Amino acid sequence: MPSYTRSSRAGGTFFFTVRLADHRSDLLVRKVDVLRYVTRQTRDRLPFEINETVVLPNVIYAIWTLPAGDSDFSARWRMLKSLFSRNVPASEVTAGLSLRPGEKGVWQRRFWEHMIRDKDDFAAHRHMIHSAPVQAGLVNRMSDWPWSSVHRAIARGEVPAVAKVGDGYHPLPPGWRTEGAPYGSAMRS
């Protein structure tokens, strides 16, 4: 079994890719209300900030900032995935999967994380999240996908409503840093 080294930066900001076990599934968008509910439950028990996110049929891309002094994003994903799995009928997800004891077979066993290094790294990953539905061939414009934080960015005037994927990432506006973000004053524009 491979040995994975996870970042342990307390209060860090991280980009995540979390996938369903069945890459052909559309379970996340069919059960998006369940996903929203269990995300709220997870945030209530183990606080974190959702900076950006997009839910595709079989994958979630997200940028989260953890509270100062806390680096345990794995506990948050474990809770979210577990709560979601408990709220989805087993018959929908287990066909043909080799399951370990206690598994329901909804999610891939692992997830991918990347520690955000600076504001340019944040902006690049933010653009990747916003453009993911277009890249996946699900819509023609970022704003056409209903399960994306791009709508918050459009409402704040940070991203044009008609932006195309090829428009490149949009740098963050001055003062974008939220309280408790890990970058320090050097990160402010």
For residue 69, the tally of other CB atoms under 10 A from its CB is 7
The domains located in the chain, with CATH, are: 7-116 (3.30.70.1290), 119-176 (no CATH)
* Contact present, 69 and 11 (Cβ < 8 Å): yes
Backbone phi, then psi, for 28, in 5-degree steps?
Answer: -65, -35
- List, edge to edge, every strand of the sheet that includes 112-115: 49-55, 59-65, 13-19, 112-115
Full pLDDT tens readout for the chain, 189 residues: 455 555 667 789 999 999 998 888 999 999 999 999 999 999 999 999 999 999 999 999 999 999 999 999 999 999 999 999 999 876 555 555 565 656 667 888 788 999 999 999 999 999 999 999 999 999 999 999 999 999 999 999 888 877 666 555 444 555 544 444 433 333 333
- State if pTM tops 0.85: no
* Contact present, 108 and 21 (Cβ < 8 Å): yes
